[in-house]
Amino acid sequence: ARGLLDWTQVDLADHAAVSRSTIRDYEGKHHELHRATEAQLRLAFENGGVAFIEVEGKGTCICLRPASE
């Protein structure tokens, strides 16, 4: 989702109100996210225009919402 929005780790951290080290450590697979942090990240992505869609047999997929939504 970060790549779809062309956000840096700092951009995501700012939008989600979390530390950059949280983003860095999660992306580096150093630790899992707390549920609250995961919710903050998802909300930041959704506010940025990303849609999370459940696809049967595939899991959660992401795409950019059309600009008109």
pLDDT tens-digit map of 7-63: 999 999 999 999 999 999 999 999 899 999 999 999 999 999 999 999 999 999 999
Kindly give the pairing relationship between strand 59-64 and strand 50-55.
Answer: antiparallel
- pLDDT surpasses 60 at 69: no
Strand partners, 55: 59
Q: List strand residue ranges (DSSP E) for the chain, in order.
A: 50-55, 59-64
Q: What is the pLDDT of residue 67?
A: 76
Amino acid at the residue 16: A
pTM of the model: 0.87
Q: Say if CB 13 and CB 20 are below 8 A apart.
A: yes
- pLDDT surpasses 60 at 68: yes
